[in-house]
Amino acid sequence: MALKVLLLLLATTSCMACTTSASREVPQQLAAGYNLTARLVATGTIGNCLNALTEIKSCTNEIVVFFTNGTADIGAPCCKAIGTMTRQCWPAMLTALGFTADECNILRGYCDASPAPSPSVQPLPPPPPSPPVKARKTALRSYNSGM
């Protein structure tokens, strides 16, 4: 009989606990400082941060060779991504990717010291003037007569 009373008491307590926690109000909106999406969209950096993360992923080989040999040059797009990631996004993101704090500082220092890239696309020279119409006709006649 005592076992039945104990089980009934346990079942009643469990039902009350479930009902109490289920009816508790969940806050719909967190404080403004805690909404990561709102902060990133408001500052306009979410796209820049994701692009920088993708660029860092694509230049991992350059970074690894730089640290193993010390002679490889890190390209301008990679340096731009490192600067964006460490200054505009999450400064500790490179450490989350597996780099030590010292390596992150070395990368930032290297990229800060490297000269700004010169534009790689040079304007094309103007096309040469086309020959006069008479010269083209003469060349066409001599070509046709040779056939």
Three state DSSP letters for 48-90: HHHHHHHHHHHCHHHHHHHHHHCCCCCCHHHHHHHHHHHHHHC
Average pLDDT over residues 24-32: 55
Q: Give 7-26 pLDDT, tens digit per residue.
A: 666 667 776 666 655 555 65
Token representation of residue 132: 């006069």
Highest average pLDDT, of 24-28, 94-98, 113-117, comes from 94-98
> How far apart (Å, rounded) are the C-alpha atoms in residues 74 and 69?
12
* Res 120: pLDDT: 46
What are the domain boundaries of the chain?
Answer: 44-116
Query: Residue 52: is it exposed, middle or buried by C-beta count within 10 angstroms (0-12/13-18/19+)?
Result: buried
